[in-house]
Amino acid sequence: MDTPSNIKVHDKYFQPFISKEHIENIIRKMVEEISKDHALEKPLFIAVLNGAFIFASDFFKQLKFDCEISFIKTKSYDGMTSSGDVLQVIGLEENITNRTVIILEDIIDTGLTIKQLLNTLQKQKPATLKIATLLLKPEAIQHQFPIDYIGLEIPTKFVVGYGLDYDGLGRNYPEIYQLVEEV
């Protein structure tokens, strides 16, 4: 089996961090847990683009029960349109009122994006609103809210690959790489 080597994305070097096999195991466990909790509820999964598209695809095709998926993008409101704790959600056509909704996110860093997304979606009164994130940087979190399903906790270092980018590039690698700090 080939061992992945360091990669260069734009001007920065990244080293192998989470292998394809490790990612597969993490996702299998998340699938098991979420299936146990929600298989009978026809949940709607909401994947946050762009970063979560590969995670969402690998996760979703392992589910063995009735469920739906929708892909959204988020955007901050410009200027005076809203207070800072809600986001514009682009692409959500489903009515989520009284439904079980599970957000699929690639990575939670400070938590601001997900906190704002939760506030926005709560306004539609889903029956259950949960978060499943592939990666979490626990030392970077600045906003408190329950994170229901966590794939893996990682240190506060920038990562790319498996859908995650550095300035648009790097999403295409099947494993996850960590920034090599310059000394």
Closest CB 28 distance from ligand 5GP, rounded Å: 22
Closest CB 42 distance from ligand 5GP, rounded Å: 26
Closest CB 163 distance from ligand 5GP, rounded Å: 9
Q: Closer CB to ligand 5GP, residue 42 or residue 73?
A: 73
End-to-end CA distance of the chain: 31
Nearest to 34 by CA among 145, 128, 138, 164: 128
Active-site residue flag, 148: no
Distance CA 8, CA 89 (A): 33
- Site residues (CB under 6 A) for ligand 5GP? 51, 106-113, 158-160, 164-166
Closest CB 66 distance from ligand 5GP, rounded Å: 28
Of the candidates 58, 109, 148, 165, the residue annotated as catalytic is 109
Q: Closer CB to ligand 5GP, residue 111 or residue 151?
A: 111
Distance CA 102, CA 104 (A): 6
Q: Is the dihedral of CA 7, 163, 18, 166 positive or negative?
A: positive
Q: Closer CB to ligand 5GP, residue 37 or residue 175?
A: 175
Catalytic residue set: 109
